[in-house]
């Protein structure tokens, strides 16, 4: 007697059961991708944390392995928390991670592969010198806010650098350490960066991006056409923010270009659910690839009933937009090999008030690419200057609220009679001296089961509808709706748990609930095959 599992995903990473959270130590070694992740071997809630481990040749299909790092030393006996991998000279991977010691202090540890000729790197040995970095009476580091070492980078002086998330009072910090040999680490006088009133910085990520081309850079690269990105995961709000800025490798200071890590106005990788993310440099394809944890929106009781909680987002290639002002993300191309049975709609004009069903695809397991074209932009409603919070705007102006230019977009995970649907859509407003595009993911009607968090998400999308089409790509996988607006300039991920719109009862529609018509010059949808994940 098996429990029905309509919410398990088919091509997003998840283990057969139990709780997962942060992606850890992603890397490529001898042509094999490694993903480690925070895992509770004993249940569907957080606890008993070890590093579970899977490998892949294509980032789509995975082979599960035994946990790589689990409590075994004083310095991690109460848990093996998040950390990162660095490839050391001589092609030797090394993992720095946070251990919880017998006093429940957070300390940083090193583990290295037992056997470098095993491409799967199944067994890991911990340094006898652990912990390598620890709170002490003299360094004043708060022992409950000192975790999540990044991938290390090497400075021009030949020394390794790593940052660790921290806070002091309300100030979030990226504490910097340096080392010659990766074993003996010395705390720098000043943090790499800090920001007031942001609380604990979990899972920082710090990496170079090319200001010239949409490619990835290895983590130690510096140079004239290189900018840097600092991402932090804010414990207080469970949202991630990043800045683009300049890193001075002599002073070891990072200065954001403009604005700062700020929980209200900063840039986010994803304006929905996406946390504790981490990038790695894929030396095989010269991409930087982003992994992120997607938590459930169901109740803890439901998680325990279904026996699992948490998935990983589809890995995303990430690069600096040519404006230099923001990052762009796109699902790794490898995922496209799961596409099958393409449904294509010819160029169409969709009148206001239309809901158009797209048939012929498995709507609960699909990849949809659509673009919209708006002719009469002068009909846009005026943007009230006080409407500065896109999420609030999307909540107040959900999919059922008629506008002029929009809402138009997709109704996904929809039941036959539209009692349930998740709406991913755009609205165009007339701003001060430009058009403003709002992108929303409205979960308010996603399920008849009210025990789910159905919060609506929203983001502004920096696209000029005068000169560009509005594109939307949405990956649908049973209980996840992962959307990429404007070619990946704004991303919104949502979790949904419909009661009626499950499996074959799931439908897909294009809709326009504005008064003005919109063109749909491009529409392709694919059913997605199941990936081998465990
Ligand atoms: N999860 C880990 C911590 C990290 C947090 C513990 C972020 O290392 O700060 O499971 O989700």
How many C-beta atoms lie closer than 10 Å to residue 379's C-beta? 14
Instruction: Output the CA 163–ligand 1 centroid distance in Å.
Output: 15
For 251-277, give one letter per residue: b (16+ CB within 10 A) or e: ebbbebeeebbbbeebbbbbbbbbbbb
Residue 177 Cβ contacting ligand 1 at under 6 Å: no
Residue 1: what pLDDT?
Answer: 40
Q: What is the pLDDT of residues 363-415, one digit of tens each?
A: 999 999 999 999 999 999 999 999 999 999 999 999 999 999 999 999 999 99
Residue 378 φ then ψ, to 5°: -65, -15
Q: Which atom of ligand 1 is nearest to the CA of 233?
A: 7
Pocket test for ligand 1, best of 273, 276, 277 (most atoms within 8 A of CB): 276
Instruction: Output the CA 166–ligand 1 centroid distance in Å.
Output: 12
- The answer to whether ipTM exceeds 0.95 is yes
Q: What is the DSSP letter of 390?
A: H
Tell the residue nearest (CA) to atom 10 of ligand 1.
81
Residue 38 Cβ contacting ligand 1 at under 6 Å: yes
Instruction: Output the CA 357–ligand 1 centroid distance in Å.
Output: 42
C-alpha closest to that of 136 among 97, 96, 185 = 185
Domains of the chain in start order, with CATH, are 19-331 (2.115.10.20), 339-528 (2.60.120.560)
Pocket test for ligand 1, best of 148, 200, 232, 294 (most atoms within 8 A of CB): 148
Cβ contact 519:374 at 8 Å: yes
Residue 282 Cβ contacting ligand 1 at under 6 Å: no
Six token digits for residue 271? 């304006």
Residue 412 Cβ contacting ligand 1 at under 6 Å: no
Q: Which atom of ligand 1 is nearest to the CA of 293?
A: 11
Pocket test for ligand 1, best of 51, 147, 199 (most atoms within 8 A of CB): 147
Instruction: Output the CA 38–ligand 1 centroid distance in Å.
Output: 8
Six token digits for residue 83? 């950390």
Tell the residue nearest (CA) to atom 6 of ligand 1.
81
Instruction: Output the CA 29–ligand 1 centroid distance in Å.
Output: 25
d(C-alpha 296, C-alpha 303), whole Å: 8
Q: What is the DSSP letter of 403?
A: B
Six token digits for residue 297? 């929106």
Residue 240 Cβ contacting ligand 1 at under 6 Å: no
Residue 441, SS3 per DSSP: strand
Residue 203 Cβ contacting ligand 1 at under 6 Å: yes
Cβ contact 155:252 at 8 Å: yes
Residue 96 Cβ contacting ligand 1 at under 6 Å: no
Tell the residue nearest (CA) to atom 9 of ligand 1.
202
Instruction: Output the CA 254–ligand 1 centroid distance in Å.
Output: 24
Query: What sign does the dihedral 301-306-309-314 (CA atoms) show?
Result: negative
Residue 258: what pLDDT?
Answer: 78
- CA 178 distance to own-chain centroid: 28
Of the residues 22, 76, 442, 477, only one is catalytic, namely: 22
Six token digits for residue 268? 């986010």
Residue 82 Cβ contacting ligand 1 at under 6 Å: yes
Low-confidence stretches of the chain (pLDDT < 50) are: 1
Written as one string, the DSSP assignment of 462-513 is ---TTTS-EEEEEEEESSEEEEEETTTTEEEEEE---SSSSGGG-EEEEEE-
Asked if 218 is an active-site residue, the reply is no
Instruction: Output the CA 202–ligand 1 centroid distance in Å.
Output: 7
- Provide the pairing of β-strand 63-69 with 50-56: antiparallel
Q: Which atom of ligand 1 is nearest to the CA of 38?
A: 10
Instruction: Output the CA 453–ligand 1 centroid distance in Å.
Output: 22
Written as one string, the DSSP assignment of 69-123 is E-S-SGGGTT-EEEEEEEEETTTEEEEEEEEE-TT--EEEEEEEES-TT-TT---
Written as one string, the DSSP assignment of 284-305 is TTTEEEEEEEE---S-HHHHHH
């Amino acid at each position: 007697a098996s429990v029905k599992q309509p919410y398990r995903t088919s091509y997003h990473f998840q283990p057969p059961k139990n709780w997962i959270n942060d992606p850890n130590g992603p890397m490529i070694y001898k042509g094999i991708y490694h993903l480690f992740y925070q895992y509770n071997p004993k249940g569907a809630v957080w606890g008993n944390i070890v590093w579970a481990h899977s490998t892949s040749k294509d980032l789509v299909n995975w082979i599960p392995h035994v946990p790589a790092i689990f409590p075994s030393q004083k310095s991690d006996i109460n848990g093996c928390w998040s950390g990162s991998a660095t490839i050391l000279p001589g092609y030797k991977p090394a993992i720095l991670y946070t251990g919880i010691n017998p006093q429940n202090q957070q300390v940083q540890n090193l583990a290295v592969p037992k056997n470098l000729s095993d491409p799967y790197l199944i067994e890991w040995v911990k340094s006898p010198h652990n912990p390598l970095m620890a709170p002490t009476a003299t360094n004043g580091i708060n022992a409950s806010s000192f975790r999540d070492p990044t991938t290390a980078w090497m400075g021009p002086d030949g020394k390794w650098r790593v940052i660790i998330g921290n806070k002091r009072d309300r100030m979030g910090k990226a504490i910097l350490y340096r080392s010659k040999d990766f074993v003996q680490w010395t705390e720098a006088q000043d943090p790499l960066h800090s920001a007031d009133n942001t609380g604990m910085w979990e899972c920082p990520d710090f990496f170079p991006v090319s200001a010239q081309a949409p490619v990835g850079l290895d983590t130690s690269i510096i140079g004239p056409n290189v900018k840097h990105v600092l991402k932090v995961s804010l414990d207080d709000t469970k949202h991630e923010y990043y800045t683009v800025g300049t890193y001075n490798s002599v002073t070891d200071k990072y200065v954001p270009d403009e604005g700062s890590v700020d929980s209200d106005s900063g840039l986010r990788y994803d304006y929905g659910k996406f946390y504790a993310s981490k990038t790695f440099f894929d030396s095989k394809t010269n991409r930087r690839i982003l992994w992120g944890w997607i938590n459930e929106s169901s109740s803890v009781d439901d998680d325990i009933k279904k026996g699992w909680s948490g998935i990983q987002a589809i890995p995303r290639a990430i690069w600096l937009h040519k404006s230099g002002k923001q990052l762009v993300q796109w699902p790794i191309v490898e995922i496209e090999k799961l596409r099958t049975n393409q449904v294509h709609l010819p160029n169409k004009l969709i009148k206001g008030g239309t809901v158009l069903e797209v048939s012929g695809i498995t709507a609960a397991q699909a990849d949809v690419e659509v673009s919209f074209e708006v002719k009469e932009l002068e009909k846009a409603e005026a943007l009230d200057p006080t409407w500065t919070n896109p999420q609030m705007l999307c909540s107040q102006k959900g999919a059922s609220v008629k506008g002029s230019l929009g809402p138009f977009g997709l109704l996904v995970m929809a039941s036959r009679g539209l009692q349930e649907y998740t709406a991913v859509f755009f609205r165009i407003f007339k701003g001060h001296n430009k058009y403003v595009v709002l992108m929303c993911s409205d979960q308010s009607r996603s399920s008849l089961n009210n025990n789910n968090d159905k919060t609506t998400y929203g983001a502004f999308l920096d696209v000029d509808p005068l000169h560009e089409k509005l594109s939307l790509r949405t990956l649908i996988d049973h209980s996840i709706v992962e959307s990429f607006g404007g070619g990946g300039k704004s991303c919104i991920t949502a979790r949904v748990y419909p009661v009626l719109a499950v499996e074959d009862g799931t439908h897909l529609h294009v809709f326009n609930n504005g008064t003005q018509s919109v063109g749909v010059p491009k529409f392709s949808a694919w059913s997605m095959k199941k990936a081998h994940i465990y």
